[in-house]
Structure 1
Amino acid sequence: MRNKKFLALSMAILLILLAVAGCGKKDDAVVDKPTDTAGGENDEVAAIDSEQYLNLILSAEPSTLDASKGSDSYSNGILNNVLEPLTRLEEDENQANFLAPAGAENWEHNEDGTVWTFKIRDSVWSDGVKVRAQDYEYGIKRSVAKETAAPYAYLLTPIKNAEKVNSGELSVEELGVKSLDDNTLEITLESPTPYFLSLTYQRVMLPQREDIVEQYGDKYGSELDTLVYNGPFTLTSWVHNSELILTKNENYWGKDEVKLQNINLKIIQDENAVYNSLSNGSVDLATANKPEWKEKFMKDENLTHLEVVNPNTFFMFFNTQDKVFKNANIRKAFSAAINREELANVIFHGVHAPAYGWVPPNINIGDDEYRTVAESPVKKLADENPDPKALLIKGLEELGMDPDPSKLTVKISLGATDQWFRTFGEYLQQMYIKNLGVNFEVEQMEWPVFNSNVEEGDFQIGYMAWGAEFNDPIAMLSLLKSDSAAIGTGWVNPRYDELIELSAKEMDPVKRLEYFKEAEKILLYDEAALAPVVYQRLNVFQYKYVNNLGVTPFGTQGYKYGFTQGR
């Protein structure tokens, strides 16, 4: 989301614009984008502003712009605009998604769908070097290689030998990815995979220049001068924890379709500062879920209101290697003790919905929305344990610890330092003291520090959000496989792994549904490796002069077709 994989808890707008997933065909829709014509500009282009720029907000510093190693939504949003994936999931005038050629001009597959061949279009990197099929091959192989420790590597398990390469059992040269020549990339799968094309616009399949990665080593992706680009924009300024500036890439193959010259991304964490920035016009777009601000912006005739239902789950997760949270009953107690309805109403102002499953709404299984046909394991857990303190006491006894909850001190780590998170932490503290009788501590830190601590296992309880990379339950459920580094719970369950592996190869949606339901029950009811809290809803307000930004939850259109008219 974390993309990987830590999809950082985003209280700002970039999450909407730059989320990922889904698939379709180019033929399914034709988008009428403002383009120049041989005889001059059309009416729409002629009327756009002479100065093309956007002022937007990031709510945290990107952890890294190394496409393989990063995992948060902030870095994913930048990468989506500065690198060119094989395909893009774009939007038509009705916000319907369709799969569009991007780095690949076209593609084909063999009869059973296990061998895919992509024709790489003629284009160059921002430094003038030709973009080759080998760049995509290297990027994919680097993401799968064990030594990279890519948090999103699990997404590529459908590729032949990916799991064995990622575990170190086979060398990366055995991966089913190879360049047939400079413009032809061949990818071989383990078996037919219904969602494979949905992976072709994920960060772990982005192209990377081997010479640049080797030149900068561990510094690659950490500073402006360690990167090259082949997407619609380049990163021309990066003042850490302050601002990033994207500039139109004049070497981009589709530069004639790119109207925006600059995108200024201010890093602002304070919620009120975000609202004030939108109100005074210093930013062009923001989310506003606080009732008083939402009402104010709804009345502003200069703003357009968009209600976006994101396939994102906000959740708490437990370090199952911790001496306390290695016990399933203790984890279940901390999940059952959450009053999700109250939390949604009080902390999230009634905007978000209580979450009783891991897979969020708007994710389909066959023709059905998954949440409408699957059980709610968390609700079942809470209903069966009206006094979660009893579960806690049982777990403490199983660990041979003092069963008195008042003697137990636990700590939650929050990856932000703003007032909203401070209020949220205080709410959780009061809730757990009341419902479990424990000593509950809250520590706040900047996102990169939080991210690092989680990766090192230096935490007890964490909190963040994750969004599905594509429209299938496996996009969320595969995050908790034991070979996934996505969410640092340290949790392992062989039956869960087996169910996810079966669902990845099963073409019958009825059978897949049963696999997913059993897996979600193990994850949330039997083991409680994590505790979903709410599903995300966003109220987005943008000035009416802003046009053609990608807004669908799974789309990867980003800023490519954006422009302003009438600023």
Structure 2
Amino acid sequence: MRKRFVAFILVICIFCSVFAGGCIKRQKAPAAEGKSITIAIGSDTGSMDPAGSIALTFLSYSVSALDELLTFDENGNIEYRAAQSYEVNEEKTIWTFHLREEACWSDGSAVTAADFKNTIKRALDPKNGSGYVSYLFPIQNAEEIYNGELSYESLGVETPDEQTLVFYLEEPCAYFLDLLRLPVYMPSCEKYADSALSGWDKNPETSLTNGPFFLAEYEPKQYFVLKKNEKYWNTDEIHLDTIIYRFFDDQQSMANAYETKEVDVAVSLQSAVMELYEGKPDLLVTELIATRYIYLNLEAEPLDDVRVREALNLAIDRAELCKIVGKDVSPAYNLVANYMVNKNTGAYFVEEDKQPFQENKERARELLAEAGYPDGEGFPVLTYKYPALEMDSDTAQVIQEQLKQNLNIDIELKAQELQTNYADRHAKDFELCRMNWTADFADPYTYLSMLLSNNSYNCSHIQDEKYDALIRRSEMELDVNKRFQLLHEAEQYAVGEQFYIIPLYGMKSCNLVSRRITGIRQIPASGALEYRYADVTE
């Protein structure tokens, strides 16, 4: 009933946007040129520098503007991009990549191995604030350089000539090729990319690209424009002339903009849109390799007590939560996303092992009493910080109500602007904080590595030698089956014994796509949409 009501409200809002233009604040719209599509995305956040503190804006930009060394297609086959080949030694510790000689930046200058090393060097400088820097740590001496213990000259990356890039790893790394699609392994032009703080990344004159499109215009909080890079090595396969990304503060405005034909694509909309567009070709529902969960700050009492963390997990009714949040979510009991596939078996990773824990309200109350809070007596009021988005607001209210009802404890809700929530989480300035992780590469390690003691995304103060040892063993294990067993063991321990997170739900993405657009692909690693090979029909 609630969702039908929300759908009705959505119709009313769209009606307002069409017939009473003053109802919604309009954004400045750039003029499209040639074959063009306009995409509605969330608010403008983070740096556009692959070595900086990136967020959604960079991820939208980079899939069309930057070529990684190589990636994997939907069948798990290598798709070479900036590199044309590679070799690896028998021990899998020396990886040599040969760049395309015809590859060049959008200004016509050659892309060199030094441009890839430039990103790595800058990411290893803590001042640049890279959240992905820990994924460079398989490289010899990278972690010590980041910690200020060794000089950059000792880094295990060599550029013997302009087209050759060599990585020397500390230990064998079975998933190293998967890491190459991460920002810290992407190139940044050595001529201009000096610091994540200098502004080069959002200036079209200095923000050069080596992919199918280049940055032509950037209007903060409004939009950015990508134009076809005629100097791209594979330009004949690129059909669009312009891609415009417009920023919106909320999902409602994105849906309105699609309805009024201001945009051609609107992504990650509220689930009520599924009912409005049911049976229509505009609706594209995809599985996201993503998990919504809550970080608990282990330095905030009483969250340092595993009994309390377990009680919070067991007291939440995820099925009921998902009924209220929408049709696009399903209960999650793991950190690894519900829809992540084991490339070796074709099965969902989370279904290959037992569920880490079972919800149990009675046991939750017993645990809280054992921790010294019978019937919630004396339990401090914890603050839950979350982005002021509809899905997260609905989620927060349900969790607040369930914890009050099931444990008799109070949770204070604090909605925040997305960038503020992001900053507070990284500063570890929270007690409970919403977290959403969409996979960066098609391996469970993209999730489980975030709980390592030295990981830059470990915002909870987790310092667990046993967990670290399990993950480190998996990193060096080259037998696929044994490696995945170690990853399962690590997740069972972290999520089902220590309860370091509160998993909530996995998601599907509700998208609206104009019928005139063809050739949109899904990125296998994350489930996000990719537009580099898209086309339009009039």
Q: Could you say whether these structures have the same fold, taking a TM-score greater than 0.5 normalized by the shorter chain as the test?
A: yes
Aligned equivalent of 1:11: none
The yes-or-no answer on 1:248 pairing with 2:222 is: no
Preserved CA contact (<8 Å) 2:145 2:152: yes
The yes-or-no answer on 1:565 pairing with 2:520 is: no
The yes-or-no answer on 1:324 pairing with 2:292 is: no
**Deviation by residue 1:29-52 (Cα, 9 ceiling, x = unmatched):** xxxxxxxxxxxxxxxxxxxx9931
Q: 1:216 offset after TM fit, Å?
A: 7.1
**Deviation by residue 1:382-423 (Cα, 9 ceiling, x = unmatched):** 34x5342343344356xxxx98546521111112x3444333
Aligned equivalent of 1:165: 145
Preserved CA contact (<8 Å) 2:156 2:169: yes
Change (3 A) 1:119 1:512: closer
Alignment counterpart, residue 352 of structure 1, candidates 329, 334, 355: 329
The yes-or-no answer on 1:59 pairing with 2:42 is: yes
Instruction: Name the aligned partner's letter for residue 182 of structure 2.
Output: Q
Aligned equivalent of 1:13: none
Preserved CA contact (<8 Å) 1:499 1:519: yes
Aligned equivalent of 1:84: 67
**Deviation by residue 1:267-297 (Cα, 9 ceiling, x = unmatched):** 2233332223333332222357756532331
**Deviation by residue 1:452-502 (Cα, 9 ceiling, x = unmatched):** 111112111111211222222222111111110114111110110110010
The yes-or-no answer on 1:314 pairing with 2:264 is: no
Change (3 A) 1:466 1:448: same
Q: CA RMSD in A?
A: 2.7
CA distance in 2, matches of 1:469, 1:549: 19
CA distance in 2, matches of 1:251, 1:88: 21
Preserved CA contact (<8 Å) 1:232 1:252: yes
Instruction: Name the aligned partner's letter for residue 267 of structure 1.
Output: F
Change (3 A) 1:175 1:128: same
Aligned equivalent of 2:312: 334
Mapping for residues 284-433 of structure 1, pairs under 5 Å:
284-287=264-267, 292-300=272-280, 303-347=281-325, 349-360=326-337, 361-364=339-342, 366-367=344-345, 368-379=347-358, 382-383=359-360, 386-396=362-372, 404-405=376-377, 408-415=380-387, 417-433=388-404
SS of 2:159 mapped into structure 1: strand
Alignment counterpart, residue 208 of structure 1, candidates 188, 192, 197: 188
CA distance in 2, matches of 1:199, 1:192: 13
Alignment counterpart, residue 487 of structure 2, candidates 500, 516, 519: 516
Change (3 A) 1:311 1:518: same
Change (3 A) 1:216 1:277: closer
**Deviation by residue 1:60-118 (Cα, 9 ceiling, x = unmatched):** 2131112122342332221232222112334xxxx545322211122222333322221
Instruction: Name the aligned partner's letter for residue 114 of structure 1.
Output: T
CA distance in 2, matches of 1:110, 1:87: 18
Preserved CA contact (<8 Å) 1:176 1:189: yes
Aligned equivalent of 1:175: 155
Q: 1:506 offset after TM fit, Å?
A: 0.6
Change (3 A) 1:371 1:185: same
Comparing 450-459 with 420-429, which one deviates more in the overlay?
Answer: 420-429
Unpaired segments of 5 or more residues in structure 1?
1-48
CA distance in 1, matches of 2:47, 2:196: 13
**Deviation by residue 1:279-324 (Cα, 9 ceiling, x = unmatched):** 3332222357756532331333xx3443322221111111112233
Identity score, percent? 24
Change (3 A) 1:288 1:178: closer
Change (3 A) 1:222 1:486: farther
Comparing 349-358 with 71-80, which one deviates more in the overlay?
Answer: 71-80
The yes-or-no answer on 1:449 pairing with 2:427 is: no
CA distance in 2, matches of 1:443, 1:97: 42
Aligned equivalent of 1:98: 77
CA distance in 1, matches of 2:260, 2:452: 46
CA distance in 2, matches of 1:378, 1:165: 39
The yes-or-no answer on 1:134 pairing with 2:114 is: yes
Preserved CA contact (<8 Å) 1:244 1:264: yes
CA distance in 2, matches of 1:217, 1:294: 41
CA distance in 2, matches of 1:180, 1:292: 55
SS of 1:165 mapped into structure 2: helix
Preserved CA contact (<8 Å) 1:219 1:226: no
Q: 1:557 offset after TM fit, Å?
A: 8.4
Aligned equivalent of 1:4: none
CA distance in 1, matches of 2:268, 2:344: 34
Preserved CA contact (<8 Å) 1:85 1:102: yes
Instruction: Name the aligned partner's letter for residue 460 of structure 1.
Output: E
SS of 2:149 mapped into structure 1: coil
Preserved CA contact (<8 Å) 1:88 1:557: no
Q: 1:359 offset after TM fit, Å?
A: 1.3
CA distance in 2, matches of 1:133, 1:204: 14
Mapping for residues 4-19 of structure 1, pairs under 5 Å:
none
Preserved CA contact (<8 Å) 1:320 1:489: yes
Larger RCO, structure (CA 8 Å, separation 6 or more)? 1
CA distance in 1, matches of 2:376, 2:61: 48
Preserved CA contact (<8 Å) 2:375 2:407: no
Instruction: Name the aligned partner's letter for residue 391 of structure 1.
Output: L
SS of 2:171 mapped into structure 1: coil
**Deviation by residue 1:175-216 (Cα, 9 ceiling, x = unmatched):** 221101111111122333222211222211011234423377
Preserved CA contact (<8 Å) 1:311 1:467: yes
Aligned equivalent of 1:281: 261
Aligned equivalent of 1:549: 520
Aligned equivalent of 1:74: 57
Preserved CA contact (<8 Å) 1:63 1:75: yes
**How many aligned positions are there?**
503
CA distance in 2, matches of 1:219, 1:359: 35
Instruction: Name the aligned partner's letter for residue 277 of structure 1.
Output: A
CA distance in 2, matches of 1:434, 1:483: 37
Preserved CA contact (<8 Å) 2:273 2:510: no
**Deviation by residue 1:95-142 (Cα, 9 ceiling, x = unmatched):** 545322211122222333322221222333234432211111221233
SS of 2:77 mapped into structure 1: strand
Aligned equivalent of 1:264: 244
Change (3 A) 1:551 1:522: same
The yes-or-no answer on 1:434 pairing with 2:414 is: no
**Deviation by residue 1:482-528 (Cα, 9 ceiling, x = unmatched):** 11011411111011011001001112233223322221122112222
Instruction: Name the aligned partner's letter for residue 163 of structure 2.
Output: N
